[in-house]
Amino acid sequence: MSSMNYFNVEKEIKNIKKQLHYSFDVTDRILKKEDVIIGFIYLKSFTDNLIFSTAIYQPIADLKEEISFTSVKNIVQANDVKEIKKEEVIDNILKGAVVLFLNNSSKILSIDIQKFNARAPSEPPTTPVIQGPREGFTEDIKTNLGLLRKRFYSKDLVLKNLTIGRHTKTQIVIAYLDGIVDMKIVKEVERKLKKIDVDGVVDSYYLVPYLSNRPNSLFKQVGNTEKPDIVCAKLLEGRVAIIVDNTPIVLTLPFVLLEELQNTNDYYTNYLYSSLLRFIRIIGGLFAVLGPGIYIALQLFHYNIMPLKYLITIADSTQQIPFTPFIEILFISLLFQILYEVSLRLPSYLGLATSIVGALILGDTGVKAGLISPPAVIVVAIAKIALYTIPEQAAQITVLQFVFLLIGASLGLLGLIGGLIYVISYLNSIENFGSPYLAPFSPFILTDNKDGLFRVPWTSMRERPYSFKTNNHTRVGE
């Protein structure tokens, strides 16, 4: 009766190969020992040959006792040996497991000896630290989860598994700290993720629009980081992290704009110094957004509110310029943006060449040739550099910079301030997972401002943020 369910190993292997479209890396091995036929099928691109032969093939071949499902399961030397159903065979093969059929058993064995070609955790280039942990996430989710686990020897770190993508079947893990996080947020995140039906998830950014309340908005509504220590801190605050396989970028939710003003370095140096830096970041960001706009507004509409001395300097230096002020500043802005784009795309050994061309030839010669004026170059250059005081928002600030440049040239100071009010009220209208985007500034939350515009010492930050919902607000005990 039971022999009816036993596998015809060769047939099964043929069948699986057919299902996998006879891809060239689908490898099968058949081991015949006495009358027992053992079939292995796996992807050679995923499996380490040596491990396969020493940990699986050899022990089975050398097996003294009778070969049965149990004896094979016991003899195999791997971490993850499990019995699977027939429908799961393809999935397991694709995930790098060796699948094993026996002609005297109705059970299928999956042995995970996936070889990861992952790079070792290294310092991420996007968020360098001066003092502090230098580890960064890698493209491999197991390594990433390991990096996270290493920071929490706690049973309360919950990792929930999901698979998204019809073709990529990407593994996604929702991480949170039980007891701290507001479960409503976790459920909401899960609901949103489960609703996603796409071909594939190549990078975690693919998930961002699905998690945002306003997917078409310019403004970022999901936090992202490459560093486990940041994720750790955010989990401790009561946030949820979403770890996606094949990308070092981990998403965190809920997101408020303040997070962009906070930098890892802030927490690893003196609090007064980091408060000063935050202030400078805000000034830098504001200048980056408004600088060129104000300059052009002053030139086109309000020469009379400029002090005479500045007026003289600007008037003298813009005299020889063949362009009108607006064209001039647009030209310089575009030039800087092109240079920036080029320097990003070019390999690093060509970077020097572009900076020479950009800085020396275009800037200096442009001024000397009388094509562009020094004040305009200075204003645009400062604005473009100031943008990187908040590097995570560089994209948003660049767009706003051009928008405000256009408004400044069109409507002057009145328009600029109107635009600023509009942008802020727009930001105020964004709410993600119940947290106001500009919290804790508006609405003003006093306790959260301890880590807001200023950072107070750790000992004074006794409570978790109120900007978003959490279960437990006490951070530091009495």
Q: Which residues contact another protein by CB under 8 A? A: 213-214, 299-320, 324-327, 370, 403, 406-407, 409-415, 417-418, 421-422, 424-426, 428-431, 436, 438, 441-444
Closer to another protein at the Cβ: 68 or 410?
410
- Of 146 and 434, which has the nearer Cβ to another protein? 434
Least distance from another protein to the Cβ atom of residue 213, Å = 7
Q: Look at residue 35 and give its three-state secondary structure.
A: coil
Smallest distance from another protein to CB 118, Å: 40
Q: Measured from the CB atom, is 167 or 195 closer to another protein?
A: 195
Rounded Cα–Cα distance for residues 158 and 168 (Å) = 24
Shortest reach from residue 167's CB to another protein, in Å: 27
> Least distance (Å) from another protein to the CB of residue 205?
22
Min CB(260)–another protein separation in Å:
16
Q: CA-to-CA distance for 405 and 293, rounded, in angstroms? A: 4
User: Tokens in use for 64?
Assistant: 């003294």
Nearer to another protein, 339 or 400 (CB): 400
User: Which one, of 226, 169, 229, 164, lies nearest residue 196 by Cα?
Assistant: 164
CA distances, 194 to each of 106, 190, 351, 463 (Å): 33, 6, 43, 32
Q: How far is the CB of 311 from another protein (least distance, A)?
A: 7
Give the Cα separation of 43 and 63 in Å (integer).
24
- Of 234, 252, 261, give the one whose Cα is nearest residue 455: 261
Closest CB 278 distance from another protein, rounded Å: 15
Burial 317-348 (b: 16+ CB within 10 A, else e): bbeebebebbebbbbbbebbeebbebbeeeee
Can you tell me whether residue 470 is helix, strand or coil?
strand
Question: Which residue, 110 or 398, has its beta carbon nearer to another protein?
Answer: 398
C-beta closer to another protein: residue 321 or 456: 321
Q: Which is nearer to another protein, 318 or 343 (CB)?
A: 318
How many C-beta atoms lie closer than 10 Å to residue 38's C-beta? Answer: 24
Q: Are the beta carbons of 15 and 87 closer than 8 angstroms?
A: no
142-168 b/e (C-beta count within 10 Å ≥ 16 → b)? ebbbebbeebeeeeebbeeebebbeeb
